[in-house]
Amino acid sequence: QVQLVESGGGLVQPGGSLRLSCAASGSIIRINAMAWYRQAPGKERDLVAMITSGGRTNYADSVKGRFTISRDNAKNTVYLQMNSLKPEDTAVYYCNAEAVSLLVGTGDYWGQGTQVTVSS
Protein backbone atom coordinates (compact mmCIF):
# COMPACT_ATOMS: atom_id res chain seq x y z
CA GLN A 1 0.00 0.00 0.00
CA VAL A 2 0.92 3.64 -0.45
CA GLN A 3 0.13 6.46 1.96
CA LEU A 4 0.04 10.17 1.07
CA VAL A 5 0.38 12.79 3.79
CA GLU A 6 -0.22 16.47 3.00
CA SER A 7 0.96 19.49 4.96
CA GLY A 8 1.19 23.25 4.59
CA GLY A 9 -2.42 24.40 4.47
CA GLY A 10 -3.77 27.26 6.56
CA LEU A 11 -5.27 30.73 6.59
CA VAL A 12 -3.73 33.43 4.40
CA GLN A 13 -4.76 36.90 3.29
CA PRO A 14 -5.58 37.64 -0.34
CA GLY A 15 -2.40 38.15 -2.31
CA GLY A 16 -0.43 35.92 0.03
CA SER A 17 1.40 32.66 -0.56
CA LEU A 18 1.35 29.12 0.75
CA ARG A 19 3.35 26.01 -0.07
CA LEU A 20 1.73 22.60 0.15
CA SER A 21 3.71 19.39 0.46
CA CYS A 22 2.67 15.78 -0.01
CA ALA A 23 4.94 12.90 0.92
CA ALA A 24 4.31 9.35 -0.27
CA SER A 25 5.40 6.35 1.75
CA GLY A 26 4.93 2.59 1.73
CA SER A 27 6.12 -0.26 -0.42
CA ILE A 28 6.68 1.94 -3.44
CA ILE A 29 8.38 0.72 -6.56
CA ARG A 30 7.67 3.76 -8.68
CA ILE A 31 5.44 6.84 -8.67
CA ASN A 32 4.08 7.93 -12.02
CA ALA A 33 1.99 11.12 -12.19
CA MET A 34 1.35 13.19 -9.07
CA ALA A 35 -1.29 15.87 -8.83
CA TRP A 36 -3.15 18.34 -6.65
CA TYR A 37 -6.93 18.60 -6.66
CA ARG A 38 -9.19 20.90 -4.69
CA GLN A 39 -12.78 20.83 -3.55
CA ALA A 40 -14.71 23.86 -2.37
CA PRO A 41 -17.91 23.49 -0.31
CA GLY A 42 -20.79 22.35 -2.49
CA LYS A 43 -18.57 21.85 -5.53
CA GLU A 44 -16.90 18.94 -7.26
CA ARG A 45 -13.27 17.99 -6.79
CA ASP A 46 -11.28 19.60 -9.60
CA LEU A 47 -7.74 19.17 -10.90
CA VAL A 48 -5.43 22.05 -9.96
CA ALA A 49 -2.08 20.86 -11.31
CA MET A 50 -0.38 17.66 -12.42
CA ILE A 51 3.25 16.62 -12.92
CA THR A 52 4.56 13.50 -14.62
CA SER A 53 7.55 11.49 -13.45
CA GLY A 54 9.56 13.25 -16.15
CA GLY A 55 8.56 16.70 -14.94
CA ARG A 56 5.95 17.65 -17.52
CA THR A 57 3.26 19.84 -15.93
CA ASN A 58 -0.34 20.79 -16.58
CA TYR A 59 -2.41 23.45 -14.80
CA ALA A 60 -6.02 24.48 -14.50
CA ASP A 61 -6.61 27.77 -16.30
CA SER A 62 -7.66 29.43 -13.06
CA VAL A 63 -4.23 28.95 -11.46
CA LYS A 64 -1.86 29.36 -14.41
CA GLY A 65 0.84 31.90 -13.65
CA ARG A 66 0.11 31.82 -9.90
CA PHE A 67 0.68 28.19 -8.85
CA THR A 68 3.71 25.99 -9.48
CA ILE A 69 3.81 22.23 -9.04
CA SER A 70 7.12 20.44 -8.53
CA ARG A 71 8.35 17.12 -7.22
CA ASP A 72 11.37 15.53 -5.60
CA ASN A 73 11.52 11.97 -6.91
CA ALA A 74 14.20 10.97 -4.41
CA LYS A 75 11.85 11.92 -1.56
CA ASN A 76 8.61 10.78 -3.24
CA THR A 77 7.26 14.24 -2.53
CA VAL A 78 5.19 16.69 -4.55
CA TYR A 79 4.84 20.40 -3.81
CA LEU A 80 2.40 23.13 -4.76
CA GLN A 81 3.65 26.69 -4.48
CA MET A 82 0.64 29.00 -4.44
CA ASN A 83 1.19 32.72 -4.97
CA SER A 84 -1.19 35.67 -5.40
CA LEU A 85 -3.90 33.72 -3.62
CA LYS A 86 -7.50 34.75 -4.09
CA PRO A 87 -10.59 34.06 -1.95
CA GLU A 88 -11.85 31.74 -4.69
CA ASP A 89 -8.82 29.51 -4.07
CA THR A 90 -10.35 28.57 -0.72
CA ALA A 91 -10.88 24.80 -0.67
CA VAL A 92 -9.66 21.51 0.69
CA TYR A 93 -6.61 20.53 -1.34
CA TYR A 94 -5.97 16.84 -2.00
CA CYS A 95 -2.79 15.14 -3.16
CA ASN A 96 -3.13 12.34 -5.69
CA ALA A 97 -0.58 9.86 -7.01
CA GLU A 98 -0.51 6.96 -9.40
CA ALA A 99 1.96 4.56 -7.87
CA VAL A 100 3.28 1.07 -8.38
CA SER A 101 3.67 -0.85 -5.12
CA LEU A 102 5.00 -4.28 -4.24
CA LEU A 103 1.71 -5.69 -2.96
CA VAL A 104 -0.95 -3.95 -5.06
CA GLY A 105 0.73 -3.18 -8.34
CA THR A 106 -0.50 0.01 -9.99
CA GLY A 107 -2.96 1.99 -7.91
CA ASP A 108 -4.47 5.46 -7.53
CA TYR A 109 -3.99 7.03 -4.09
CA TRP A 110 -5.33 10.08 -2.26
CA GLY A 111 -4.19 12.07 0.73
CA GLN A 112 -6.51 13.12 3.54
CA GLY A 113 -6.74 16.71 2.38
CA THR A 114 -5.51 20.01 3.78
CA GLN A 115 -7.62 23.15 4.19
CA VAL A 116 -6.57 26.35 2.46
CA THR A 117 -8.54 29.46 3.40
CA VAL A 118 -7.92 32.81 1.70
CA SER A 119 -9.60 35.60 3.63
CA SER A 120 -8.90 39.01 5.08
pLDDT digits (tens, 9 = 90+) for 18-48: 999 999 999 999 999 999 999 999 999 999 9
- DSSP H or E run through 95: strand 91-101
Question: Looking at residue 62, what is its pLDDT?
Answer: 97
pLDDT, tens digit (0-9, with 9 covering 90-100), for 65-84: 999 999 999 999 999 999 99
14, amino acid identity: P
Q: DSSP class of residue 62?
A: T
- Please enumerate in sequence order all residues whose Cβ is within 8 A of that of 101, keeping only pairs 6 or more positions apart, or say none: 1, 2, 26, 27, 28, 29, 107
Q: Is 74 helix (H, G, I), strand (E, B) or coil?
A: helix
- DSSP H or E run through 109: strand 105-110
Separation CA 88–CA 116 (nearest Å): 10
